[in-house]
Amino acid sequence: MLIIGIAGGTGCGKTTVVNQIISELPVDEVCVISQDSYYNDTSHLPYEERVKINFDHPQSIDFELLISHLKKLKKGETIQQPVYSFIDHNRTGETLPTKPRKVVIVEGILILTNPAIRKMFDIKIYVHADSDERLIRRLKRDIAERGRDINEVLDRYQTTLKPMHQQFIDPTKEFADIIIPNNNYNTVAVDIVRTIVKDRLN
Ligand SMILES: Nc1ncnc2c1ncn2[C@@H]1O[C@H](COP(=O)(O)OP(=O)(O)O)[C@@H](O)[C@H]1O
Ligand SMILES: Nc1ccn([C@@H]2O[C@H](COP(=O)(O)O)[C@@H](O)[C@H]2O)c(=O)n1
């Protein structure tokens, strides 16, 4: 099994890069694990408290569950990946059965901050886009897809996104084997990663 970790700040294009990588691969050869599925279960908190959580701090992630799921996949077991709602700021209670595959891609802003999970990755990738580009993309995406308005995104950017990015996420670039510049769509870099993955599948 080849486990690839893909990190980078919010809006850098991780999900887009993952979709480009897997688009030409057989569906039964690859599975994707999103760090967002592993936000802590906060069902015990009311919505008014959940909305105040700092979702860009490493402590917001249930790394224990994520690591145990990766270990299960390595052992050939199917896992139940939690489904997360950005509207409710919580897990939905539903799960997505995820089968072990030859290639497992784990993507998320904080996945390279955790030493134990870092050790599990065969390839570590950091997707980079400038902060103004990321903020513009995040604004558009969160308003269109995650039920947010401009004030919510800008407040969160100033209070948590920017400081957490500087403190925790950007420094993980140093752990990356490959850094993909993604201010523009980077088809060359995606092709290189695809070639590595295809080589592994043969
Ligand atoms: N290279 C790019 N150029 C322009 N827009 C992009 C690029 N990569 C991603 N996007 C767009 O930016 C938004 C955020 O991308 P996404 O892949 O969800 O980022 P992430 O998963 O890192 O938060 C999406 O709407 C996506 O279509
Ligand atoms: N309830 C939540 C949980 C997370 N976020 C934000 O999502 C970002 C990470 O996801 P990406 O797809 O952008 O990598 C992170 O920056 C959190 O602030 C949220 O807004 N609400």
CATH number of the domain bearing residue 189: 3.40.50.300
Q: Output the pLDDT for position 185.
A: 95
Residue 201 belongs to a domain: no
Q: Output the pLDDT for position 130.
A: 98
Digit-coded pLDDT (tens) for 46-101:
999 999 999 999 999 999 999 999 999 999 999 999 999 999 999 999 999 999 99
Residue 199 belongs to a domain: no
Residue 37 belongs to a domain: yes
Residue 202 belongs to a domain: no
Shortest-distance Cα residue to atom 8 of ligand 1: 13
Domain count, the chain: 1
Residue 164 belongs to a domain: yes
Residue 103 belongs to a domain: yes
Q: Output the pLDDT for position 105.
A: 97
Residue 28 belongs to a domain: yes
Q: Which ligand is the nearest neighbour of the Cα of 17? A: 1
Digit-coded pLDDT (tens) for 171-187:
999 999 999 999 999 99
- Own/partner pairs, 146-153, CB within 8 angstroms, 24+ separation: 146/86, 146/87, 147/86, 147/87
Residues 6+ apart with CB under 8 A from 75: 100
**Pseudo-torsion of CA 61, 64, 66, 68, nearest 10°?**
180
Shortest-distance Cα residue to atom 15 of ligand 1: 13
Mean pLDDT over each residue of the chain, to the nearest integer: 96
Q: Which domain holds residue 98?
A: 2-194
